[in-house]
Amino acid sequence: MRKTTPTRLSDLAATMNTRSTEEQHESGDDHDRPLLVLGAPGIDASGNPLTSPSNRRAFLARASTLSLALPGIGAALAACAPDGQSSRRDSAASAAQQTGGRSGEDSLGLHNSNSRLDTAVLRDPGHGASSATTANSDAAAAALRRYDPALPPLSANRTLRLNWRAMEVPLRIQADTVVAAWTFEGDIPGPIVHCRVGDTVEFTLTNEVAVPHSMDFHAAQIDPKVAFRSVTKGQSVTFTFRPKWAGAFMYHCGTAPVLMHIGSGMYGAIIVSPREPLPPAKEFVLVQSEFYLAESVNGVRPFDYNKMLSTLPDYMAFNGRPNQYIDNPIRVKVGDRVRFWVVNCGPTHPSAFHVVGEQFDTMYLGAPPGTPIRGVQTWDVPPGGGMCFELVCDVPGEFPFVNHAFGHAQKGAIGFLVVEP
């Protein structure tokens, strides 16, 4: 018999309508205590993520002790100088990206970049059981934060300047799970970018970690060999693009092997609104992705490249935390038009996007507002793709949004849209 993923209570329970209305009324819990996560432990929100430089250094130092799993990376990490710039900001990354974030030049030249080591890592990433550095006693300090799904407003400025960092952080994706994440700006997914067709995006990536990284925006028409090239630790790459088409586009690290870099957390969404605004709506961004994890080491679970190749994920999530919008739903009002920009970052499985109790009155097959179709219950968003779904909330209630491929969705790709009267 093929052995499957250990079944977790939180997987089993996270879904719709587990109790009769009688029970719900008895216990008096509406959203504050989630209806749908039976048996899930209370969330520890100690709120003290890895914010001090000393914690950061400790993380990297301890990570190196596990590096046997990934030959070469230990040496790279050991060579890492203490890094005063590496503290993780508390401010939302989405705020940072709208204002341009910190200056990427700060840390240039601080690191002992060694492309030979990086290359060694690239040649041999799959020989061990783990594809990510790991082990951190600070894991306990990584708080579970809700990822804000709201589409950030457009800037008045028609030029967006983004200075992002490729960062390694321990990230708590659910109450009992901290992952050794490769990230853009310290989160999975990275910051949501919002611009218009024809806007200018000036982007700089600075790599703060020992493994080479890069950035590939699906919204850009540009030579990938130059713009999406990998940079080693301490290096930066800068490029500028003007989105030609509206839509929900993926961005991700494109460094080889791409599967490992996407699979370890380096992705996000750039939403390009059309020149002529779409009908007014409450707009949200949902990034679906999969998590393939090795067993925990000192409280942190590294990503597992061989599992990624096996295509059977441990978790699937919207915006990086399994079931987060069950506990903390997305809220709108009766009469609102809701627009979901759904980006499927995979790395592998499609997203059969569906809202329970609703249908989409409009979906755009081409760049919005092109080729609208009507009356859709479920549509597949391919990995590496994005689609725009709209519905009008005529009816108050609690509407689960799901990936209707439940063999995967049961592992966390379920949330709630609450329509308040």
Q: Which of residues 290-319 bind its own copies (CB under 8 A)?
A: 305-312
Tell me if 348 contacts its own copies by CB under 8 A.
yes
Least separation in angstroms between CB 175 and its own copies: 16
Binding to its own copies (CB under 8 A) within 75-134 occurs at 115, 119, 122-127
Question: How many whole angstroms separate alpha carbon 243 and alpha carbon 413?
Answer: 29
Q: Quickly tell me which residue has 């779904």 as its tokens.
A: 389
Of these, 41, 150, 377, 420, which contacts its own copies (CB under 8 A)?
Answer: 377
- Only segment of 144-152, 174-182, 185-193, 230-238 that touches its own copies (CB under 8 A): 230-238
Tell me if 25 contacts its own copies by CB under 8 A.
no
Residues 150, 343, 368: CA angle, nearest 5 degrees: 85
Closest CA to 169 of 204, 150, 141: 141
Please answer whether residues 37 and 174 qualify as being in contact, where contact means their C-beta atoms are separated by less than 8 angstroms: no
Helices (H) and strands (E) in the chain, counts: 11, 19
* DSSP per-residue codes, 257-277: SHHHHHHTT-EEEEEEE-SSP
Binding to its own copies (CB under 8 A) within 151-170 occurs at none
If you ran DSSP here, which 8-state letter would residue 338 be given? Answer: E
Closest CA to 43 of 238, 287, 283, 327: 327
Tell me if 411 contacts its own copies by CB under 8 A.
yes
Tell me if 390 contacts its own copies by CB under 8 A.
no
Considering the complex, state which of residue 53 and residue 396 has its C-beta at the smaller distance from its own copies: 396
- Only segment of 34-42, 50-58, 181-189, 277-285 that touches its own copies (CB under 8 A): 34-42
Of these, 208, 256, 303, 335, which contacts its own copies (CB under 8 A)?
Answer: 256
Least separation in angstroms between CB 248 and its own copies: 9
Least separation in angstroms between CB 123 and its own copies: 5
Closest CA to 168 of 73, 269, 309: 73
CA 221 → CA 53, 56, 218, 224, 248, distances in Å? 38, 36, 8, 9, 15
Tell me if 406 contacts its own copies by CB under 8 A.
yes
Considering the complex, state which of residue 53 and residue 372 has its C-beta at the smaller distance from its own copies: 372
Binding to its own copies (CB under 8 A) within 181-210 occurs at none
- Only segment of 47-55, 145-153, 185-193, 227-235 that touches its own copies (CB under 8 A): 227-235
Please answer whether residues 244 and 218 qualify as being in contact, where contact means their C-beta atoms are separated by less than 8 angstroms: no
Tell me if 339 contacts its own copies by CB under 8 A.
no
CA 67 → CA 122, 133, 220, 300, distances in Å? 14, 6, 35, 14
If you ran DSSP here, which 8-state letter would residue 107 be given? Answer: G
Of these, 135, 231, 300, 413, which contacts its own copies (CB under 8 A)?
Answer: 231
- Only segment of 32-40, 44-52, 56-64, 275-283 that touches its own copies (CB under 8 A): 32-40
Of these, 167, 352, 388, 413, which contacts its own copies (CB under 8 A)?
Answer: 352
Considering the complex, state which of residue 125 and residue 322 has its C-beta at the smaller distance from its own copies: 125
Total Cβ atoms within 10 A of residue 30: 13
Tell me if 357 contacts its own copies by CB under 8 A.
yes
Which residues have C-beta within 8 Å of that of residue 209, sequence separation ≥ 6? 166, 167, 168, 182, 233
Of these, 181, 188, 205, 250, which contacts its own copies (CB under 8 A)?
Answer: 250
- Only segment of 3-11, 132-140, 141-149, 164-172 that touches its own copies (CB under 8 A): 3-11
Of these, 173, 209, 259, 413, which contacts its own copies (CB under 8 A)?
Answer: 259
The H or E element containing residue 351 is: strand 351-355
Of these, 154, 245, 298, 299, which contacts its own copies (CB under 8 A)?
Answer: 245
